[in-house]
Amino acid sequence: MRKIAIIGGTGIYSPETLQCFEEKVIQTPYGAALCNIGTMCGNQVIFITRHGVGHKTAPHKVNYRANIWALKSLGTEEIFATTAVGSLNPDMEPGHFVVCDQVLDFTKSRINTFYDNPERGVAHVDFTNPYCPRLRDKVINCLYKTDIIFHKKGCYVCTEGPRFETAAEIKMFAMLGGDLVGMTNMPESLLAREAEMCYTNCSIVTNMAAGISPTPLSHSEVVEAMDKSIKNMEQLIGAFIAANEADSMECGCPQCMTEFGGFTL
């Protein structure tokens, strides 16, 4: 049995695809995390709504540490995260899916590590490849079996939010190699790495970014675009959970903290 977590971003709020799910509040040293726990295709599946019920938690206020700690305490091994993003890349159009392979972190005020106290000490995790290559390969293989238009690589620029970016910022991000811009993949992906869990992200392009889009940006535009892609994302999530065949590659995520004695709760 695989132990999988789905972290739903904007527009991905419902765990209705899970069988016999139950809502459970997990207490952690960083606060409580609300998890929906169920089964699908013989696997344990845990669903977390990143922004909370009714999308009431802003990106910079998400309790990333509590969410990741809760998933680890429940035995999670794989995390599939979804994000709604703006595009800096003209080839990545609204409605396209992108299996990100790199990150540029422009967050400012978020606590981004579990190793910030004397008890845990200092740890420097390798983040050369911020997304698990094994899970990325699994997602890509699932996408090949659909009619979804997707890109196998993309650099996700994570900004602080909750405001949208300026046109000048978008121009700078593009010059640095960014393809997409969003507000939630950091420190989420980093904390998952520290906790020795495999993590991958699939972004849905909802709009062209500031200065590229011919119209002012709005959250309603993002939600409307996500509504159009929700069936495709549900299809992909279902295929990912059902993909129980042997993986074509291995990864080092579960052992990435060995140098520091491994990650412990």
Residue 166 marked as a ligand binder: no
Residue 83 marked as a ligand binder: yes
Residue 192 marked as a ligand binder: no
Residue 159 marked as a ligand binder: no
Q: Report how far residue 98's alpha carbon sits from residue 232's, in angstroms, rounded to the nearest whole number.
A: 13
Q: Report how far residue 235's alpha carbon sits from residue 262's, in angstroms, rounded to the nearest whole number.
A: 35
Residue 183 marked as a ligand binder: yes
Length reported for the chain: 265
Q: What sign has the CA pseudo-torsion 82, 86, 88, 94?
A: positive
Residue 246 marked as a ligand binder: no
Amino acid (1-letter code) at residue 251: C
Local structure of 33: helix, strand or coil: strand
Q: Report how far residue 22's alpha carbon sits from residue 1's, in angstroms, rounded to the nearest whole number.
A: 18
Residue 50 marked as a ligand binder: yes
Q: Are 205 and 180 in contact (CB under 8 A)?
A: yes
CA atoms within a 13 Å half-sphere pointing along the CA-CB vector of 202 = 33
Residue 184 marked as a ligand binder: yes
Residues near 201 by beta carbon (within 8 Å), at least 6 away in sequence: 81, 82, 83, 99, 100, 131, 156, 185, 189
Residue 32 marked as a ligand binder: no
Residue 51 marked as a ligand binder: yes
* The dihedral formed by the CA atoms of 29, 31, 37 and 43, expressed in degrees to the nearest 10: -40
Q: Report how far residue 260's alpha carbon sits from residue 44's, in angstroms, rounded to the nearest whole number.
A: 29
- Say if strands 31-40 and 43-49 run parallel, antiparallel, or are unpaired: antiparallel
Could you list the residues known to form a binding site for phosphate, using ranges. Answer: 10, 50-51, 83-84, 184
Could you list the residues known to form a binding site, using ranges. Answer: 10, 50-51, 83-84, 183-184, 207-209
Could you list the residues known to form a binding site for substrate, using ranges. Answer: 183, 207-209
